[in-house]
Amino acid sequence: EIFIISRGTWFYDGTWGPVEEMKADRIELEHLTHFRGHLMTSQKVDDTTKEVVHSLSLPEGEVDWFSASEVYLSSDATPSRLMRSVGKKFGFQKTGYKLHRGYSIDATSSDKPPDINHIVFVIHGIGQKMERGRIIKNCTALRENISYLKHKYFPSIVNSSHTVEFFPVEWRSSLVLDAGVIDSITPQKILNLRQMLNASFMDIMYYNSPLYRDEIITGLTGEMNRLYTMFTQRNPYFEANGGKVSMVAHSLGCVITYDIVTGWNPAQQFDQQLVHSLFDQIDKSRELKTTSQISLKKNLQDILLQHDSKRLQPSLNFKIENFFCLGSPLAVFLALRTKHSQGATPDIIPQKLCKRLLNIFHPADPVAYRIEPLLCPEYSNIAPVLIHSYNAAEKIHYSEMPLEPIIVSREKDREGWDKSRADSGNNTPVSSVPSTPVKGGTSSWSLWGLMKGSKKPAEAGANSLELLSALQDAKGLSDRTDFVLREGSMENSYISAITSHTAYWNNYDVSHFLLSILYPDIVSTVYKPEVAKP
């Protein structure tokens, strides 16, 4: 939806609605031509028989000036013409709508929206070619949710000087990529389905292709730099006041954005591996003398540096404060790129490039994966942080939430297996422990899940000790990275597997979580400190 934003010059008396822009421009030009330098007095002229000093004919009617401050607009409609003719017969000249030059209230330096000091780029994933402009709709939905939560739960944010603005980044539709080659080789059978797959999942193939990857990287980087430059030109105070930039990326957009921020390039990685392999061969060679080895290594390094300088991909013109990943497969890409030794803590994204990485996902999202086990292997046994419900009465601050072991709930699978056994006539009893109600829902991440299911108490207790021991050893992360949404009590996992990947934009819990990170000082006041249980 497009809105015209213009500066009002002339206004109607009473309602103080602005005169239409084209009409106001004609009136303003005529007014400056004949009344420039005249005093604009607010004193009302009572002489109704005063003569018209100037008139302007417009397609919609006529504008009459009785003085520099007495201006009337008369419509060209038949009733208005009749009213003017009757008024003139009785000696009344002023008919129509009175116009005012300028608004009823004088402008002040404080009469403006608060300065924007934090912008958030919203980046889409796959499928944008299939539905062009969808990221704009998704960003609008995110804005509306955040605006609703601010006005309902955080009125102090509305009145604060800290303002965050969201900008959609549409990078896919402007790319040419294969220039229609994929469409030309697509069979005609079930064409609609094939075209849908070409317009969505083919983006993953494009990005993994060395031929088209650089075009995607350049396209997204250029679009973000263009938006940032446009914003800073129109808001010159932003950088001077220490403005911050964050990103909200979805699906494949998380991977592309990560590679842009870190500068990761598979071609450079391959070249470095090749040169290191050559170095090893040179060191093992007994035929080469020491001086020849040093000279050959230096030449190879020079060639690699020259080659890498030509391959440098474009970088962003700004630094990242927070990087929010929604339904992200980034962990899979990272796991397949590097061999992780046991106990290693790879530096996924340095803090000098991005202060914090936050991975948000729905438990049934088949595309989303966890990142924390890559940072610290022990966290594979620790549940991600459960995101608070936006309307929960009491909330513990995320930094104070305790670590909990992962308990994979198999109650539903067990029930289905027991039912199938009963149907087949096998009535062998299965030992189980009665389930215990859990405050706040039946989340599979809860420690209470260990007490439920088909395991015997002794076996459950042993596993509990092992998991709690793993918790004590897991001290590698200062800030949590993985955050999981709550599943609804009536939510079906199979249906959620289809719908959850695209449901982040309209989720109030996601919007509330973003608010808690973007407005930490204000939102943290509503969190309750954790109370130790006796």
CA 280 to chain centre: 46
**Start-to-end C-alpha separation, the chain:** 56
User: Which candidate, 531, 517, 213, 228, places its Cα nearest to that of 385?
Assistant: 517
Instruction: Please enumerate in sequence order all residues whose Cβ is within 8 A of that of 375, keeping only pairs 6 or more positions apart, or say none.
Output: 345, 346, 348, 476, 477, 481
- The secondary element (H helix, E strand) that includes residue 151 is helix 134-153
Burial 117-149 (b: 16+ CB within 10 A, else e): bbbbbbbbbbbbbeeeebbeebbeebbebbeeb
- What gap in Å lies between CA 213 and CA 206, rounded to an integer? 6
- C-alpha dihedral (151, 328, 209, 216), degrees to nearest 10: 10
Name the one residue in this structure whose structure tokens are 């022990």: 378
Burial 488-524 (b: 16+ CB within 10 A, else e): eeeeeeeebeeebbbbbbebebbbbbbbbbbbeebbe
Could you tell me if residue 100 is left (phi over 0), alpha (psi between -120 and 50 degrees) or otherwise beta? beta
Please give the structure tokens belonging to residue 534.
């006796």
Question: Residues 355, 451: contact at Cβ < 8 Å?
Answer: no
Q: Which of 251, 496, 500, 511 is catalytic?
A: 251
In this structure, the number of other CB atoms found within 10 A of the CB of residue 210 comes to 10
Strand partners, 326: 250, 360
- Which residues have a Cβ under 8 Å from the Cβ of 228 and sit 6 or more positions away? 119, 245, 316, 317, 318
Annotation says 251 is catalytic? yes
Active site residues: 251
